[in-house]
Structure 1
Amino acid sequence: MPVDATAVGRPTYSHSLPNEPATAEIGRRLILDVLGIWQLDDLADPAALIVTELIANASRHTPCPDVRLIVRRPSTRRVRMGVVDREPSRLPVLGQAEYDDEAGRGLLLIDAVADRWGCDLYGLGRRPWAKEVWAELRTEAGA
């Protein structure tokens, strides 16, 4: 599927995807395509890891049928990758994984690789309708 992302102003790319583990591969391809368009190929490895973990966490922890992958440049020095789902009551928690645990390391990996990460709720007042779990990487030259 072609990627249509602009490199001027404050570019954003987003795409709705099925909320399932296999979507991580699609997410990795999309982030690599967008970073290529923005000439930020040096961020490919950490960005692919982050997108993989964000999608895996959404598919593991939320029953939503789909998620939305959003990639944006909030400034020339940062790239933000986020996954939006419609389960705002299930907020991410940075946990501790034991040596032999088979799961529970996704946010730990994101925390180690990203410059910062967080979660934003969408909606007004006390009844948000969705959340976005996001992570940011700093660009080298701020191109």
Structure 2
Amino acid sequence: MTVTATPRPTGHPGYSETLPRDPESAAVARRLVRTALATWGLEDRIDDAMVVITELVSNAVDHGRLASIRVIVSRPSEHRVRLGVVDRSKVVPAMRTDSNGDQVRGRGLVLVDSLTGRWGTDPYRWGKQVWGELKCEPSQ
């Protein structure tokens, strides 16, 4: 597996990795996010970022179409970190607000919504990227 990193505190890309579309990839994605945030001095955002990336990867694993997904961690500005997962499905995720009975699954985007400043979907001709942005202040 190849991890691409840039030494700059902001800009694109930050860190990214192509992973198999299986549940075990969430652990690799969490390590990638932890590395990026630690490098950027944003350790105080790691816990929330772990939950967000886990939910985004889980959705891509459940709904993607091909054998791989791409995890992207970027810093579009000094005060934001963007966590994204790219898959080959064009289906736009919808946040569930119903209780969904006793089922535990199906409410991940509610968590993403509560932990991020904003989240969304960027459609591509061949799929999409679902992302969430965390507000952050760099450590001094």
TM-score, structure 2 length as denominator?
0.89
| CA deviation after TM superposition for structure 1 residue 7, in Å | 2.6
The 2-side partners of 1:92 and 1:84 are apart by: 12
1:32-51 CA-partner distances (Å, limit 9, x unpaired): 01111111111100001000
1:5 positional shift: 3.6
Distance 1:91 1:2, change over 3 A: closer
- Once the two structures are TM-superposed, the CA of residue 64 in structure 1 deviates from its matched residue by 1.8
- RMSD over aligned Cα, in angstroms? 1.9
Q: Which runs of 5+ in 2 are unaligned?
A: none
Q: 2:18 aligns with which of 13, 16, 22?
A: 16
Aligned-residue offset at 1:138:
0.5
1:95 aligns with 2:89: no
1:77 corresponding residue in structure 2 = 79
CA 1:115–1:44: 2 relative to 1, 3 Å: same
Indicate how the Cα distance of structure 1 residues 35 and 26 shifts in structure 2: closer, same or farther if over 3 A, else same: same
CA contact (8 A) 1:76 1:142 kept: no
Paired residue total: 137
Corresponding residue number in structure 1 for 2:42: 40
Q: Which runs of 5+ in 1 are unaligned?
A: 123-127
Structure 1: distance between partners of 2:25 and 2:47: 17
The alpha carbon displacement at 1:63 in A equals 2.6
